[in-house]
Amino acid sequence: MKKTISILIFCFALITIQNKSLANEEIPTAPNLDLQKYLGKWYEVASIPQWFQKDCIANTTAEYSAVEDSPQIQVLNSCDTSSGDRKTAKGRAKVTDPTTNSKLKVTFVKIIGWIFAFGGNYWVLDIDPEYSYALIGDPSRKYAWVLSRTPSLPKETLDKIADKYKSLGYDTCLLLTSIQSGGFSERTPLCKLQH
- What is the pTM assigned to this prediction? 0.85
Ordered mean pLDDT values, 10 residues apiece, the chain (195 residues): 35 36 71 97 97 93 94 96 94 96 95 87 97 97 97 96 97 97 96 82
Q: Can you list the pairs that 20-25 forms with residues at least 24 positions away whose Cβ atoms lie under 8 Å?
A: 22/141, 22/169, 23/139, 23/140, 23/141, 24/139, 25/139, 25/169
pLDDT at 10: 33
Task: For residues 142 and 120, give the distance between their C-alpha atoms in angstroms, rounded to a whole number.
Answer: 12
- Residues 171 and 169: their CA atoms lie apart, in Å, by 7
CB 27 within 8 A of CB 123: yes
Domain boundaries, the chain: 27-193
For residue 26, the model assigns a pLDDT of 84
b/e sequence 110-127, b meaning 16+ C-beta within 10 Å: eeeebebeebebbbbbbb
Of the candidate CATH numbers 3.40.50.720, 2.40.128.20, 3.40.50.2000, 2.60.15.10, the domain formed by 27-193 belongs to 2.40.128.20
Nearest to 160 by CA among 133, 187, 142: 133
Q: H-helix or E-strand containing 191?
A: helix 190-193
Residue type at 33? L
Rounded CA separation 138/121 (Å) = 6
